[in-house]
Structure 1
């Protein structure tokens, strides 16, 4: 076994590898970019080496620098994780040339499966079923368009060297094909350095099911069953589960044997995943093979009880597979949810910034168990524009699918993450969605269930608004006395002695009463809350309603946890009580109560009086930091609502900025190739007549 390994990756997978290596007594070396100097994976390893700037091309894609770091620190092997250099055959060759073990498959296997087109040709020879399509090297637009017509619309254009959902476009008609092809080729070249694409029939209501395989140097190869990864957005997985709902033993065996045949066709060694697209009638087709460990490997670990990273290390050291096919068994059901920094309400646009608060449920440990978190970001950390915006993976394991689903619902409800947009609430809605509950799964589930998954915003309940008011008052140092009981607010005692009224923080005033208007804004508008101290109690009026007695209490051990009581007569049913966690950062108020998150904006008159500038009227702003790829308009051009104006690249994805209304372009502030920051105005647009 190795004494020392270098982990050529970052984030949660680097932390995951470090944890297993430590348990096995193996020393670990981390590498980090300028953006990751304080990252969690740096502290998780025994030693860390700086390798360059924040852009991946200047750090995590620098094979020469990573090899030098491994040799300088005495590492015997390099674990590439996933992404970056994990499926780079040249890097695997370079490791061998440097006398280092590449913890992954042989370079020739990576090369064979690295091109989707070449891989499908190999699978055809191995009699693995394929989706009808064109997988050749000819890339002329007219030729590919003819192929699409022969295949029949809709078709899927896919980057041949791609992965992770990047470089993929669904095309519904012949007229839309050229523009979709050009966009796909640009994204493929940017993300993978290779514009080559393939075209195949787009299957209706398919499921995405993948088989985990493992092979050793002694010629043994097994499959560790399947994962259902059908729930996707932007062709990227959101929810993964194992085993696949509705899978029969016969189909599992057929797909497993096909996956093993695919691996053996290229002389595979190590961990790999053979991905299939499955039609409703059960017919399955080879899609691609990922020659690395997958993001969703924890669900396989949960149902098999095996540590796949440990398997990788043992196989790379020349040891045989720990178990045979007959010894592998499925135990229960596991679900993984990918927690992303993104805004589901804006087409899952990545969110950049600081995680002011990041708290996982108290019963969650960063290790295998009924609930598990694989995370690479800590509270106070930053989601940058340079890497994938995944915060962590939340994994649950239950007796059966329903038990696992309930565990996931409870775990998601207990997560606290503020400072930027996340998909946590969306994941909770997915778990509760009737289609997901009944396992009516396919890759189009999210758009198909759009109305349920993206409900129309509703007005914030009074009890939640009152909780927000209590949070602001607490932040201002005010406390609440029990309404109608206890000593006078200005005659209480401390330590058995009479306290001075100047020590009270209950809103008492010498000449008059404490009164204040708090304006809180939700997606539907503003709410005015009038708070007043009267005698020995507080009163609260919401949106002009009659004032009601109001009291609140904070947990001394967890100041963010509040309990409020609004109203005076429980017998009449007019008392509302609410408990929850409240986080006030600047003017943003995040309230977690009854399994839901409510985000409100506090319209603080003092802050508003500072004259903070709004976005330029009529302007179109950059939704996040990125690079301008194309500008299709010039000053003086007339545009119509929805017309594409600018295409920018951010986090290796293309985003099209469209005209919000008809108008005339007044000014274009940036040109192709310019780097822009989030929120800058790209185009000044004057509304048309």
Structure 2
């Protein structure tokens, strides 16, 4: 076994690999970019080496800099993590040429499976069923459109070298094909340095099921059962679970055998994932093989009791697989939810900013347990536009699927994040949704359940407003009033409860909720008793607050005879209340300070929803557009985002051109009335 391991990646996977390596007694080396100088992964490793700028191409995609870092620190092996260089045959070969062990498959296996088109051709020869489509080398747009026309719509355009849902577009008709192809190729070139695509028939109500395979250098190859990754948004996985609901032993055996056959066909070594698309009638088709460890591997670890990173390291050191196929068993059910900095209500738009607060439910970290968290960020870290906006992975295990689902619901409700938008509330709705609860799964679940997963926003409850007001009073030194006065034998002038000679004291709070609605409330203390006034209506109020951390308190109150409790976090002009698994973000409104904001007329401009780069501009000054027309395309978080006209109008001015960087909130285009 080697004694020093360099981890050629960042974030959660770097921390994950470091945790296992540490348990095995190995020394670890981290690499980091300018943006990650103060990140978590350099801190948890024994040594850290700076390798370049914030952009992946200037750092984490620089194989030469990573190999140099390994050589200068005395590392004998390189673990590539999930992405970046994990499936790069040139990097794997460069490691071998430098005398380093690449913790992954042989170069030939990466090459065979690195191109989706080539992999499908190989599987076709091996008799593995494929989805009808075109996987050839001809990339002429007219030719590809004709192929799509002959396959029949809807079709899926997919980057040949892609992964992670990037470089994929579903096209419903021939008239939309050219624009979707161009966008897909741009995204593929940006993400993978390769704009080649393949075309496949888009299956209706399919499930995405993948098989974890493992092979060693002694000729052993096995599978560690399946994962269901059907719940997706924008072709990216949101929820993963193992085993797959409704999987029969016969089908599990057939898919496992097919996956092992695929691995053997390319002389595979190490951890890999063979992905299948399955139809409701049980038929399944080979999609691709990822020649690396997957983001969702923890659910497999949870049901098998095995550390797959340890398996990787031992196999890379030349050891045989720790177990045989017959010795592997499924125990319980595991579910993984990806916690993202994004806004589901705005098309899952990534959210950029500082994690002012990050608190997880009681859990183990990077290890087996009923509740596990795999994360690479800490409170105070910045979610930047340069990398994937995943905050952490929350993984739970139960004796069965229903117990795991209930445990996930509770764990999500116990999470506390502030400073940016997250998908936590959306994930709780997803866990509680009838379709998910009954395992009515397919890759279109989120789209077909949009009415229940994206319900109309309700007004912020009065109890939440009262909690926010109580937290603000507590921050100003107030107590809950009469009960506190009775419990403290002190001079009445020392009691901070709002007491006045007249017996009455009033505090007015101007709050703005997440929808921008003003919620003005008045708290009145009269003869030792509080009440909350709204719209000339009063509700009796009793409250108490207990500090739990700087800027954070536990609030308990009785409003109009009903008991409520929750957490409140105060940061500057913001108050976030966590109650019943929901987070309510409120802003204190200073009418004088924001008078100019209200006087401004934002109706004629469009602004950048996040930092990014302008990829293309579809209009010119003077063009007349209608609502929904494409104005320009931005790239951020390794994804393309199209900016559409919000209404009919005339383009007055375009402030940025392709290739230029923009900041969050910058004005992009001026649009006048038609």
TM bracket, shorter-chain basis: over 0.9
Number of the residue aligned with 2:523: 531
Partner of 1:566: 559
Partner of 1:481: 481
Secondary structure in structure 1 of the residue aligned to 2:194: coil
Asked if 2 retains the 8 angstrom alpha-carbon contact of 1:580 and 1:592, the reply is: yes
Aligned pairs, number: 671
CA offset digits 1:509-550 (Å, max 9, x no partner) = 3567432321223327322211222222222212321x2332
Q: Are the aligned partners of 1:463 and 1:576 in contact in 2 as well (CA < 8 Å)?
A: no
**Contact conserved, 2:170 with 2:202, CA < 8 A, in 1?**
yes
Deviation per CA, 1:72-121, whole angstroms, max 9, x where unpaired?
00000000001100000000000000000000000111011000000000
Seen in structure 2, the aligned counterparts of structure 1 residues 612 and 462 have a Cα distance that, compared at 3 Å, is closer
Q: Contact 2:208–2:276 at 8 Å: present in 1 too?
A: yes
CA distance in 2, matches of 1:214, 1:615: 60
SS where residue 162 of structure 2 aligns? coil
Relative to structure 2, which stretch is displaced further, 203-212 or 143-152?
143-152
- Note the residue ranges of structure 2 that are not aligned, 5 or more in a row: none
CA shift, 1:560, in A, is 1.5
**More deviation in 359-368 or 66-75?**
359-368
Report the secondary structure of 2:650's partner residue: strand
The 2-side partners of 1:30 and 1:306 are apart by 25
How far residue 363 of structure 1 moved from its aligned partner, in angstroms, is 4.3
Deviations 1:176-208 (A, max 9, x none): 111111111111111111110000111010000
2 CA distance for matches of 1:601 and 1:557?
21
* Alignment partner, residue 410 of structure 1: 410
1:603–1:209 Cα change, 3 Å: same
After superposition, the C-alpha distances for 1:154-179 in whole angstroms (9 at most, x for unaligned) are 11110000000011111111111111
Deviates more, 1:143-152 or 1:419-428: 143-152
CA distance in 1, matches of 2:441, 2:365: 30
Distance 1:443 1:224 in 2: 23
**What are the within-5 Å matches in structure 2 for residues 204-603 of structure 1?**
204-482=204-482, 487=486, 493-494=489-490, 499=491, 501=493, 503-510=494-501, 513-522=504-513, 523=515, 525-545=517-537, 547-557=538-548, 559-567=552-560, 575-603=561-589
Q: Which residue of 2 aligns with 1:572?
A: none
Match of 1:65? 65
Q: Equivalent residues in 2 for 1:176-195 (5 A)? A: 176-195=176-195
State whether residues 463 and 577 of structure 1, in contact with CA within 8 Å, keep that contact through their aligned partners in structure 2.
Answer: no
Deviations 1:131-156 (A, max 9, x none): 11100000111111111111111111
Alignment of 1:118-157 (within 5 A): 118-157=118-157
Which TM-score applies when normalising by structure 2?
Answer: 0.97
Q: CA deviation at 1:343?
A: 0.3
The answer to whether the 8 Å contact 1:517/1:528 transfers is: yes
Report if aligned partners of 2:5, 2:28 keep a CA contact under 8 Å in 1.
Answer: yes
Counterpart CA distance in 2 for 1:68 and 1:420 is 37
Aligned counterparts of 2:595 and 2:624: Cα–Cα separation in 1: 37
User: Does the residue aligned with 2:642 lie in a helix, a strand or coil?
Assistant: strand
Contact 1:615 1:681 in 2 (8 A): no
Partner of 2:628: 642
| Offset of residue 590 of structure 1 | 1.4
CA positional deviation for 1:616: 3.7
In 1, Cα distance between the equivalents of 2:204 and 2:122? 25
Work out whether residues 632 and 645 of structure 1, in 8 Å CA contact, stay in contact via their aligned partners in 2.
yes
Structure 2 Cα separation of the partners of residues 274 and 392 of structure 1: 24
Work out whether residues 485 and 495 of structure 2, in 8 Å CA contact, stay in contact via their aligned partners in 1.
no
What is the aligned partner in structure 2 of residue 165 from structure 1?
165
**TM-score computed with the length of structure 1 as normaliser:** 0.95
- Name the CA distance, whole Å, in 2 between partners of 1:652 and 1:610: 36
Distance 2:113 2:600 in 1: 50
Give the root-mean-square deviation of aligned CA atoms.
1.7
Aligned residue for 1:605, secondary structure, equals coil
Question: 1:614-629, aligned counterparts within 5 Å?
Answer: 616-629=602-615
